[in-house]
């Protein structure tokens, strides 16, 4: 994983410290440990993890002696819980089209800025212009074709998600670091008056009088398919199986890892969701993969599909990640980014076993918990990966894309 430099602090006020991890970090884990360091301390601007050295670039203005003494201990806690006793997951590659020839080798971001195709409102928050929007619409049409091929029922889900529902599916324990909370002012005229008079932003955000905000009842949704499971909870599955599709805004606070269009706080996912027996879910996940393989071939995308794990919080990481790879619960579609000789997940094929069925009491006709799975595509990422491979000269684009995007 590349080093992510925050633009918040000027280089004059940065400090770099380096030290050895308590246990060596195996190569296959360095990227995931590095991405977790974003959440270790507010003074960390960026981090580089090698198997025997950790380098931290720190914001000197936040670095009190107290912070510094605690910092290394917190980093080692991450290393220990992720790397100690970890074993290398067997990466299973289901498709490998990384050697497909593509015409572009540049980073698309500078060109996107110069064409006013992106406007960064804040870290991980972007407005997208007409070209990106048309490319997203094109890819969405492919994903909707996939959904139609399963006769998936269309749904529209809310952007907010209730805290009490996320709690039922263990989200606070698995992914606390990336949650985005929603609140509102307390319904009290004095509180509202006081806020109206004193609310003001500084460079870190909004300052409001203490006690202005109500308790959090709701969050911004981190995924799409949960909403379907909530709708199907506490009853037998209608017809014994459900296939659905929806597009929705998703929110994951990824701290200093929020870079370019690769990793957003506010992004969009299209999902095709299967709920039913184990065989129903696994067979359809596999059929979906094969259909997308044909679609990606038509447009000449360079990518591979390989087994992966979800980015569990540090404390849950080792056990959950090992479980996911052992049972092949997640495969990622990793598109090539030629300009940095690396890959980016543009989608995933997921199987949750009967996890949601058990926690939400969704039942099959025989009374046993339903199994679930989803195919999820990140729309901003697929458009970004397409431009990273095919560039801005439309005459170099695959003919099918040229025909649709004029």
Binding to Zn ion by residue 242, rule CB under 5 A? no
Phi, psi angle pair for 394, to nearest 5°? -60, -25
Distance CA 345, CA 269 (A): 12
Binding to ligand ATP by residue 254, rule CB under 6 A? yes
3 state DSSP class of 4: coil
3 state DSSP class of 379: helix
Binding to ligand ATP by residue 264, rule CB under 6 A? yes
Identify which of residues 311 and 373 has a Cβ nearer to Mg ion in the complex: 311
Please report, as residue ranges, which positions from 254 to 313 form the binding site for Zn ion (by CB under 5 A): 271
DSSP 57: E
Q: Which of 21, 248, 378, 391 binds ligand ATP (CB under 6 A)?
A: 378
- Say how many residues touch Mg ion, by CB under 5 A: 1
- Say how many residues touch ligand ATP, by CB under 6 A: 16
Name, in order, each residue with C-beta under 8 angstroms of 251's C-beta and a sequence gap of 6 or more: 180, 219, 220, 221, 222, 265, 266, 267
Binding mask 328-347 for ligand ATP (x = CB under 6 A): -----------------xxx
- Nearest by Cα to 124 from 296, 260, 318: 260
Least Å distance, CB 269 to Zn ion, is 8
Binding to ligand ATP by residue 310, rule CB under 6 A? yes
Q: Which single residue brings its beta carbon nearest to ligand ATP? A: 378
DSSP 176: G
User: Pick from Zn ion, Mg ion, ligand ATP, none: which does 177 bind, CB < 5 to 8 A by kind?
Assistant: none
First to last CA, the chain: 35
- In the numeric block, the tokens 């067979």 are attached to 283
Least Å distance, CB 227 to Zn ion, is 10
Binding to Mg ion by residue 311, rule CB under 5 A? yes
Distance CA 31, CA 3 (A): 10
Site of interaction with ligand ATP (CB under 6 A): 252, 254, 263-264, 267, 269, 310-311, 345-348, 376, 378, 380-381
Site of interaction with Zn ion (CB under 5 A): 225, 271, 374, 376
């Amino acid at each position: 994983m590349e080093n992510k430099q925050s633009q918040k602090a000027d280089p004059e006020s940065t400090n770099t410290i380096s030290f050895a991890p308590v246990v060596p970090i195996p190569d296959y884990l360095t990227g995931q440990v590095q991405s977790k360091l974003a959440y270790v301390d507010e003074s960390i601007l960026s981090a580089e993890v090698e198997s025997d050295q950790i380098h931290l670039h720190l914001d000197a203005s936040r670095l009190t002696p107290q912070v510094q003494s605690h910092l290394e201990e917190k980093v080692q806690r991450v290393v220990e819980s992720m790397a100690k006793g970890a074993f290398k997951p067997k990466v299973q590659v289901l498709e490998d089209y990384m050697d497909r020839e593509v015409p572009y080798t540049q980073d698309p971001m500078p060109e996107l800025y110069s064409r006013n195709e992106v406007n960064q409102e804040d870290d991980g928050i972007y407005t997208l212009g007409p070209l990106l929007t048309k490319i997203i619409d094109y890819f969405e049409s492919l994903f909707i074709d996939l959904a139609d091929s399963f006769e998936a029922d269309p749904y529209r889900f809310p952007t907010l998600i209730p805290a009490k529902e996320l709690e039922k599916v263990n989200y606070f324990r698995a992914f606390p670091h990336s949650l985005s909370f929603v609140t509102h002012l307390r319904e009290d005229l004095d509180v509202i008056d006081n806020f109206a008079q004193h609310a003001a932003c500084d460079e870190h955000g909004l300052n409001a009088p203490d006690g202005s905000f109500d308790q959090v009842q709701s969050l911004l949704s981190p995924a799409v398919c949960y909403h379907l499971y909530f709708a199907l909870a506490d009853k037998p599955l209608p017809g014994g199986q459900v296939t659905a599709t929806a597009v929705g805004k998703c929110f994951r606070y990824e701290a200093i890892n929020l870079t370019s269009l690769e990793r957003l706080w506010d992004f969009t996912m299209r999902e095709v969701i299967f709920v039913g027996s184990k065989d129903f879910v696994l067979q359809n996940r596999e059929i979906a993969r094969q259909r997308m393989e044909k679609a990606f071939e038509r447009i000449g995308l360079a990518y591979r599909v390989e087994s992966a794990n979800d980015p569990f919080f540090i404390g849950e990481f080792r056990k959950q990640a090992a479980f996911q790879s052992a049972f092949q619960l997640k495969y990622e579609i990793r598109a090539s980014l030629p300009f940095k000789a690396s890959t980016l997940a543009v989608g995933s094929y997921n199987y949750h076993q009967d996890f949601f069925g058990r926690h939400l009491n969704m039942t099959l006709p025989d009374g046993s918990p339903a199994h679930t799975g989803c195919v999820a595509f990140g729309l901003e990422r697929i458009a970004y990966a397409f431009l990273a491979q095919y560039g801005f000269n439309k005459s170099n684009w695959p003919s099918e894309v040229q025909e649709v995007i004029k």
